[in-house]
Amino acid sequence: MIGLIRVFTAKDNEVLQSHGEMIQKHFGISVLSRSIPDQPLGIYDDESEMAAIPKIVELGIELEKEGCRLLIISCAADPGIQELRGRVSIPVIGGGSSASLVARALGEPVGLMGITEGVPPVMKDVLGDLIVGYNRPEGVTNTTDLLTDEGRRMALEGARSLVNKGAKAIVFACTGFATISFADVIRKELQIPVIDPVESEGLIAANFYKQTD
């Protein structure tokens, strides 16, 4: 079983389970999803990330005790990943590094979409010169903004602008886009590959399971 950590406080169980259900659907592995407390807007800047890290570590330790064999921090910034790896005995993977490695393997110019002011450092480090642009949809400043009709509309416009800059693929720098299943929208509307961090972290987790089952 995989333990999946959501880095915002999900009161809606459907939202809480969405990433785990996506991984289960695509890769057929069981996922136990939990969210950190007291962060209803998730991680959207340095301060909110620092507040989240000890909560992520504590939750990861609990999930290992409950029998999880691998942990996923389902966030494109990979917050607390080194801290958690130092406290548990099982593998820990992050959404940002997973998506970046998949995109790097593709080898095409990419446009990134997120909710922070800039590209998460872990993604910038891996993707480097493949990045042709970054877009934060107008009016979107935290994960919950993506749940609105206006947030979705502006996200599609953002993706279109990245294609116009030369992007041959779109990479999500926020797992909130996965929560609203936005990859399928872009693939249909713009006819371009989309690298989703939740799909990517599931791919890497599934490979681990094939090696250890």
| Token pair in block for residue 100 | 């970046």
pLDDT at 212 > cutoff 70: no
Determine the average pLDDT of the residues in 56-69. 97
Report pLDDT for 104: 96
The tokens describing 17, both together, are: 């389970």
CA distances to 23, 47, 83, 102, 105 from 187, rounded to whole Å, are 19, 34, 35, 17, 19
Q: What is the 3-state secondary structure (H, E, C) of the chain?
A: CEEEEECCCCCCHHHHHHHHHHHHHHHCCCEEEEECCCCCCCCCCHHHHHHHHHHHHHHHHHHHHCCCCEEEECCCCCCCHHHHHCCCCCCEEEHHHHHHHHHHHHCCCEEEECCCCCCCHHHHHHHHHHEEEEECCCCCCCHHHHHCHHHHHHHHHHHHHHHHCCCCEEEECCCHHHHCCHHHHHHHHHCCCEECHHHHHHHHHHHHHHHHC
How many whole angstroms separate alpha carbon 194 and alpha carbon 171? Answer: 6
> How do the domains of the chain map onto residue ranges?
2-95+199-212, 97-196
Which of the four pLDDT bands, split at 50, 70 and 90, describes residue 196?
very high
Q: Which residues 6+ apart lie within 8 Å of 37 measured at CB?
A: 9, 55
149/145 Cα distance (integer angstroms):
9
How is domain 97-196 classified at the architecture level of CATH?
Answer: 3-Layer(aba) Sandwich (3.40)
Q: What is the pLDDT of residue 139?
A: 85
Its pTM surpasses 0.85? yes
Let me know if domain 2-95+199-212 sits in CATH 3.40.1390.30. no
Is the pLDDT at 175 greater than 80, yes or no? Answer: yes
Model confidence at 115, in pLDDT bands (50, 70, 90)?
confident
Provide the 10 A C-beta neighbour count for residue 159: 25
Q: Answer yes or no: is pLDDT of 58 > 60.
A: yes
Q: What is the CA radius of gyration of the chain?
A: 16
Q: CB-based burial of residue 30 (10 Å sphere; 0-12 exposed, 13-18 middle, 19+ buried)?
A: exposed
In the chain the first and final C-alpha atoms are separated, in Å, by 11
Same fold, 2-95+199-212 and 97-196: yes
Residue 186 CB partners (closer than 8 Å, separation 6+): 156, 159, 170, 192, 194
